[in-house]
Amino acid sequence: MSVKSETVLITGAAGFIGCRVAARLLEAGFRVVGLERPGCDLFRVKRLLPRIKIYRLPGEKAASVLRKEKIDGVIHLATYYRKRHAPADVGPMMRTNVEMPALLLEAAVAAGVKWFINTGTFFECELPRRGPLKETAPIAPWNLYASTKTAFDGILKTYAASGAMKAMTIRLFSPYGPDDNPDKVIPYLVNSLLKGSPVKLSGPGQKLSFIYVDDIAAAYVRAAKTAGRLRRHETVNVGAARSHDVREVIAALEAVSGAKLDASYPPAARPAPPVVADLRKARSLLGWRPRWDIRKGLKSTFEHYRARGKAR
């Protein structure tokens, strides 16, 4: 007798991370439904469209999808990200990062959805002076974006504490890989290599926990298999075991591309503590660890963009 596969709704299924999560869930035997904002470009997820259904609806209208598709679990990846926001970003950021997922969560409880996996960021946390950043790190959001992520995480914990929903927050560190947003540092460096153009950077910067997108997708699949068995809300770090600064990233890209980058830096600012993810909980709760080191991940990323001509 065959076992019914679970149906997962992914918000942001057409995004950089969402499309990879959708593909891995399909490989693992899940049924996948996507929720996207109206007018969203589906180029990343086009190859999956025969196998998944995408609804392009405002978040507040998701309740009908949850009931119609008999959703078992939600993976929330949709977000409005600005490292440095402008006044015009405040409304969209609050609606996308707080109001929309709160309405979706309320609708999910009403529809009998079993579990909800949220996406957080290490930007929400105070960095330790030394050693890896643990899930128990004090909350001290770095910017408005991180504050909105913290706000919704608090809402999710309230629902989980009441017993209304099994819940988990995947705390992401610094994602990278093919089809990332072009304004981020690694696509910028790749584009510059492909064009042979010089790069201007804000400084060598702190060491970050760069995590390849396929490792991230694998973690979400593990989380989807685990979430229904949780007894309380859990936060789990998903990052790399080592950290690297932009100079090391450039060196690795130069090695895999055979080209040289003309990079200029302003005088170095006061160094910030390196960001290293504590991955012990990910190993114990999810049975997950990263498998892509920075050289392998950057090689895959560069070759993808070189084959296509540029980082979109």
> Do the beta carbons of residue 111 and residue 71 sit within 8 Å?
yes
Q: What is the rounded distance in angstroms from the CA atom of residue 157 to the CA atom of residue 293? A: 33
State pLDDT tens for residues 96-117: 999 999 999 999 999 999 999 9
Contacts of 210 (CB under 8 A, 6+ apart): 173, 174, 175, 176, 186, 240, 243, 244, 249, 294, 297
Amino acid identity for residue 22 in this structure: A
pLDDT in tens, 223-255: 999 999 998 899 999 999 899 988 899 999 999
- Mean pLDDT (the chain) is 91
Give the rounded percent of residues in the chain with a pLDDT score beyond 90. Answer: 76
Going through 65-143 in order, the beta strands assigned E by DSSP cover: 73-76, 115-121
Q: Rounded to the nearest 5 degrees, what angle is found at the Cα of 214, between the Cα atoms of 84 and 19?
A: 70
| pLDDT tens, residue by residue, 58-107 | 766 788 899 999 999 999 999 998 888 999 999 999 999 999 999 999 99
Which domains are present in the chain?
7-175+213-238 (3.40.50.720), 180-208+242-276+292-308 (3.90.25.10)
pLDDT at 4: 59
Helix (H) / strand (E) containing 68: helix 63-68
Q: How confident is the model at residue 24 (pLDDT cuts 50, 70, 90)?
A: very high
Residues 131-160 pLDDT 10s: 999 999 999 999 999 999 999 999 999 999
The rounded distance, in Å, linking the Cα atoms of 290 and 242 is 10
User: Model's pTM, two decimal places?
Assistant: 0.93
Tell me: pLDDT of 1 over 80.
Answer: no
**pLDDT for 2:** 38
Q: What span, in angstroms and rounded, lies between the C-alpha atoms of 32 and 100?
A: 20
Three-state SS annotation for 239-291: CCCCCECHHHHHHHHHHHHCCCCCEECCCCCCCCCCCCECCHHHHHHHCCCCC
